Amino acid sequence: MSKKKEVFISVDIETAGPIVSEHSMMTIGACLVYNPEIEFSVMLKPISNKSVAEALEVTGLTLEQTSKDGITPAKAMLQFNEWISKNVQEDYRPVFIGLNAAFDWSFVNYYFLKYLNKNPFGISALDIKALFMGATGSSWYDTKSSSMDKYLYPTLQGDHDALHDAKYQAELFRLIYDLSLNK
């Protein structure tokens, strides 16, 4: 079995709440980690009317707005899959990179499987928080983005816009990965 080369893709989402299949994924932002100007962004129509007020406050979005301005989840996931296919050569493997990857990946995985019957990222994701712990020996508490910022000095900041956050996460990943290589 030959080992495929990897293309790291930073992915961030905003949701209407924490429960996959009950709360809607509202936006997806993604970029190539080592070429962040190659980007993807989409707003999705809701899959339910359930929401958590705190989640909506964080995003600044409403279900009414996403219902009006978003596209169907099936079309959104098809577009995301096509973007991945266009930007990842056939002999390479896309690797999902996230900041608290378990949360974002779980929604993306659910939507890909529900609407396309496949997830181009497969069954796993690489978590920036865990990578930071391994590279620095920090505690889990110190993997908050604000703590990472004090250690890494990124030029970008997160703002709960999925595309902006994907680019910010890509920068954090590059900084942490470089740090781990220099140990």
Active site residues: 160
**What strand order describes the sheet that includes 25-32?**
35-43, 25-32, 5-15, 92-98, 126-127
**Whole-Å CA distances, 114 to 7, 106, 118:** 24, 12, 8
Using CA atoms, how far apart are residues 116 and 128, in angstroms rounded to an integer?
Answer: 27
- Rounded Cα–Cα distance for residues 22 and 16 (Å): 9
Crossing angle of helices 128-136 and 162-181, rounded to 10°: 30
